[in-house]
Structure 1
Amino acid sequence: MGFLPQDFSSFISSRCDRADFIQSWLKGHGVESTRVAIDGKNHILVQFGAGAYNPRFRIKTVVAHHDRVEGSPGANDNSAADWQLMNWAVYLKNYPNFHNVRIFFTDGEELGWNTGVAEQGAFGIAATFQRLGIKDDVYVFDACGRGEVPVLARLNLGPKTPSSFVKTANDLYVRTQEILKAASPGRWMTLPVPYSDNASFLACGIPAVAITMLPADEASLYARMITKDKNLESNVLNRECTKEQRLKENVPDFSYKEHLPLTWRLFHSEKDNEESLSPVSFSVMENILRILAESKTPA
């Protein structure tokens, strides 16, 4: 695709060691990174010099998973967001002021699909944050390479969630809406979105939001389906359940798939390829990330 760099094809090649690729690419562009191994997963952490951080403001941990399902190029799930954050890291390296950003490229996000959130690679990171008392604002970007509408995953906390955490999580959710309003005026939505790495952080009591992208027609149709079918939202969110739980509760696996946006139905297949991506997504994401770097919340 003309708007994608040649290296992108190498990144989605079935032969690519993606963790090595990311670190090598970053180093070639002057950005140092660290390999973080937790529970057999290979995460990549990008932190910047001391001048990039101000302790009077909250740290922003920004996350995109680099793993993919075997047999799929994973161009949108999740190579596009990886690439967007890699370029953003280069931008942040020369940022003229503090930005309070650290970036994790996580491994093992796809493992939580049938086995539950504790098997997700990011769960090890989130559990470490919890143990160390780290309460960052966590922004997860997943499938951000197709469409022009940024979609903020609707915040869905259980009835037993402590009120103090509900307040903190909702505050991040509202602040994220302000970022999307500024980055894409009049062209953003909040919708139920299958859990990504945000599930791991939420499960460990750490505020987290997830952002994805959809074509406008798909987002609008999905919003109408959510309004019409009262069971669709709970089925979309059943990714946090194990396969055994879904069987026990008689929730047919993917029985709702035909009601999902086409973009999501391409996941985990050979059709999640370069041809499915759109240049406008990368432009919108550049705006979102720029404004995210500028945003500052008192600690």
Structure 2
Amino acid sequence: MNFLPAGFSEYIADGCDRCAFIRSYLTERGVESIVMPVAGKNHVYVKFPTSQYNPQFRIKTVIAHYDRTPGSPGANDNSAANFCLMDWAERLQNRSDFHNVRLLFSDGEEFASGGVACQGAFSLASLFKRLGITNDDVYVFDCMGRGTIPILRKTILPLAAPYGLRTRFAALEDRAEELLRRSASRRWLTLPFAYSDNAGFIACGIPAVAVTMLPEDEANAYLTALIKEKSLENYIVNHTVDVKSDAESKEKLLKLQSMVPRTWRLINTKNDTERTLTPESFTVFASILDALADEKTLAS
């Protein structure tokens, strides 16, 4: 696995203090960071020089969770994205012009079994809202270490969502689509997948988009399966199966599980190891991040 950054094996090892690792990795590369304790979670906030921000343009808040499910190495979920973002932070730090990036490594994404309000990003988004930080472009990156096809999450806002949130979210989606068009992949898809940290921000009335990555064959097969099996989207997003009997439920569940991309079946298991990662993913993701740093949208 020569393409993996130095320290990757240490980062996915059992017992690694990942919060401390991120801060140490950044410090060694001349990038300052602080820990933001919010509601029992420790988020890492990267501090770039104030000269790298221009108030005439929109702030781009970029988030990737660093926590992982106990017992899983978390190579793809979400260590690959973490390393890409840490290396990106060094590139941002060394830029001569402004980038307007607010970068956070969030804690608590994997422990939201009690609903979105239990998610670490929900308390983080609540803090943003209290501070009046509600007009950023929020990008969440999750599981970016396999494949070359960026997947923008298909998001349907609640019927009760205010008109202002809908229009701001639609505008952010347009910018996200244009960003992915400029990536090294040259191809991207909008497809349903499980909520990530974007759920906490949307619940607080702050537009946020989520992006993941899939191998091309898996992305194509998943797209075909969604067209053929209408209940697959509900299973992917809500983890529920709409059936009338237990026997029918077991049969339907097995059918739906077989349609889930292999990349996602590895998530939260002991098999989410560095051997499953692909070098092309790091190249595509780096191109997305660099394009995002270059993006300049006038503040409204």
Cα distance in 2, alignment partners of residues 186 and 234 from structure 1: 29
Structure 1 window deviating more from structure 2 (176-185 vs 193-202): it is: 176-185
Q: Helix, strand or coil for the counterpart of 1:111?
A: coil
Measure how far apart 1:297 and its partner are: 1.2
Give the residue type in structure 2 aligned to 1:271. N
Partners of 1:258 and 1:56 in 2: CA distance: 49
Aligned-residue offset at 1:75: 0.1
Matched, 1:126 2:95: no
Aligned positions of 1:182-193 closer than 5 A: 182-184=182-184, 186-193=186-193
Aligned to 2:151, the other structure's residue is in SS state: strand
Contact 1:47 1:101 in 2 (8 A): no
Structure 2 CA distance, aligned partners of 1:185 and 1:78?
A: 20
- Percentage identity across paired residues of the two chains: 51
Shift of 1:257: 2.6
Deviation at 1:233, TM superposition (A): 1.3
| Corresponding residue of 1:50 | 50
- Output the amino acid matched with 1:180: L
Scaled by the length of structure 1, the TM-score of the pair is 0.93
- The match for 2:92 is 92
Distance of 1:41 and 1:203 partners within structure 2: 18
2:40 maps to which residue?
40
Pairs within 5 Å for 1:106-145: 106-112=106-112, 114-135=113-134, 136-145=136-145
Instruction: Report if the CA contact (8 A) 1:155-1:170 is conserved.
Output: no
Aligned residues: 292
Match of 2:195 in 1: 195
- Conserved? CA contact 1:146–1:213, under 8 Å: yes
Aligned-partner SS, 2:19? helix
Cα distance in 1 for partners of 2:176, 2:5 equals 29
Give the CA RMSD over aligned residues.
Answer: 2.0
Query: Within 5 A, what are the aligned runs for 1:1-299?
Result: 1-112=1-112, 114-135=113-134, 136-184=136-184, 186-238=186-238, 255=253, 256-299=256-299
Distance 1:59 1:198 in 2: 16
Aligned partner of residue 111 in structure 2, secondary structure:
helix
Q: Could you state the TM-score of these two structures normalised by the residue count of structure 2?
A: 0.93
Structure 1 residue identity aligned to 2:161: T
Q: Shift of the alpha carbon at 1:185?
A: 5.5
Question: How far apart are 1:155 and its partner, in Å?
Answer: 2.2
Unpaired runs of 5+ residues, structure 2, are none
Q: Secondary structure at the match of 2:7?
A: helix
Asked if structure 2 preserves the Cα contact closer than 8 Å seen for 1:147 and 1:281, the reply is yes
CA distance in 1, matches of 2:173, 2:203: 16
* Amino acid across the alignment from 2:27: K
Q: What is the alpha-carbon distance in structure 2 between the residues aligned to residue 185 and residue 83 of structure 1? A: 19
Alignment CA distance shift 1:89-1:186 (3 Å): closer
